[in-house]
Amino acid sequence: MRIDVLTLFPRMFEGVFAESILKRAQERGLVSVRLVDIRDYSEDRHRTVDDRPYGGGPGMVLKPEPVFKAVESIPAAPGEVVRRILLTPQGKRFDQAYARDLAAADHLVLVCGHYEGFDERIREGLSLEEVSIGDFVLTGGEIPAMLVVDAVVRLVSGVLGDAESAEFESFSRGQLDHPHYTRPPEFRGMRVPDILLSGNHEEIRRWREEQSATRTLARRPDLLVDGEGAAGMRSAECEMRNCGRGSRAVFSSEFRVPSSELEEWGSSPPPDRQSQAGARMRDPGQGEPR
Ligand SMILES: C[S@@+](CC[C@H](N)C(=O)[O-])C[C@H]1O[C@@H](n2cnc3c(N)ncnc32)[C@H](O)[C@@H]1O
Q: How many CB atoms lie within 10 A of CB 166?
A: 17
- Looking from the CA of residue 139, the nearest atom of ligand 1 is 1
Q: Is 29 in contact with 157 (CB distance < 8 Å)?
A: no
Find the mean pLDDT for residues 56-71. 97
pLDDT of residue 169: 86
Find the mean pLDDT for residues 130-145. 98
> What single string gives the DSSP state of each residue in 235-256?
E---EETT-SSSS-EE--TT-E
* pTM of the predicted model as reported, rounded to 2 decimal places: 0.80
**What residue ranges of the chain are covered by domains with CATH 3.40.1280.10?**
2-153
Segment 239-284, tens digit of pLDDT: 443 333 322 333 433 333 444 444 444 444 554 444 444 433 333 3
- Looking from the CA of residue 140, the nearest atom of ligand 1 is 12
pLDDT of residue 164: 55
pLDDT of residue 231: 27
For ligand 1, pick from 61, 84, 85, 88 the residue to mutate: most ligand atoms within 8 Å of CB: 88
- Looking from the CA of residue 137, the nearest atom of ligand 1 is 16
DSSP 118: B
On the question of pLDDT at 216 being above 50, the answer is yes
Find out whether the beta carbon of 141 lies less than 6 Å from any atom of ligand 1. yes
As a whole number of angstroms, the distance between CA 35 and CA 62 comes to 18
- Looking from the CA of residue 112, the nearest atom of ligand 1 is 25
pLDDT of residue 58: 94
Does the structural domain 2-153 have CATH classification 3.40.1280.10?
A: yes
- Percent above pLDDT 90 for the chain: 71
In 90-220, which residue ranges form alpha helices assigned H by DSSP?
Answer: 96-103, 120-125, 142-153, 164-167, 194-197, 201-219
Which helix (H) or strand (E) is 2 found in, with range?
strand 2-7
pLDDT of residue 250: 35
| Total length of the chain | 290
Find the mean pLDDT for residues 138-146. 98
Atom 23 (ligand 1) nearest CA: 88
Find out whether the beta carbon of 138 lies less than 6 Å from any atom of ligand 1. yes
Q: Which of 52, 68, 62 minimizes the C-alpha distance to 117?
A: 62
pLDDT of residue 173: 82
pLDDT of residue 249: 33
Confidence of residue 162 (pLDDT cuts 50, 70, 90): confident
Find the mean pLDDT for residues 183-188. 98
Q: Which of 184, 258, 180, 175 minimizes the C-alpha distance to 219?
A: 175
Most confident of 38-42, 172-176, 219-223, 251-255: 38-42
DSSP-derived 3-state class of residue 185: coil
Confidence of residue 163 (pLDDT cuts 50, 70, 90): low
CA of 134 to the centre of ligand 1 (A): 10
pLDDT of residue 178: 96
167 versus 219: which is more confidently predicted?
219
Find the mean pLDDT for residues 50-59. 96
Most confident of 62-76, 225-239, 272-286: 62-76
Find the mean pLDDT for residues 129-145. 98
CA of 173 to the centre of ligand 1 (A): 30
Tally the C-alpha atoms within 13 A of residue 73's C-alpha that lie toward its C-beta: 18
On the question of pLDDT at 96 being above 50, the answer is yes
**Intra-chain end-to-end CA distance of the chain, in Å:** 45
Paired strand residues for 64: none
Find out whether the beta carbon of 118 lies less than 6 Å from any atom of ligand 1. yes
Domain at 172-280: CATH architecture: Orthogonal Bundle (1.10)
Q: Which of 189, 165, 262, 184 minimizes the C-alpha distance to 219?
A: 262
Find out whether the beta carbon of 137 lies less than 6 Å from any atom of ligand 1. yes
Find out whether the beta carbon of 123 lies less than 6 Å from any atom of ligand 1. no
Distances (CA, A) of 78 to 31, 84, 129, 174, 236: 18, 16, 21, 35, 46
Find out whether the beta carbon of 94 lies less than 6 Å from any atom of ligand 1. no
For ligand 1, pick from 62, 87, 130 the residue to mutate: most ligand atoms within 8 Å of CB: 87
DSSP 81: -
pLDDT of residue 284: 31
The mean-pLDDT minimum among 115-119, 178-182, 277-281 falls in 277-281
CA of 137 to the centre of ligand 1 (A): 5
**What residue ranges of the chain are covered by domains with CATH 1.10.1270.20?**
172-280
pLDDT of residue 161: 81
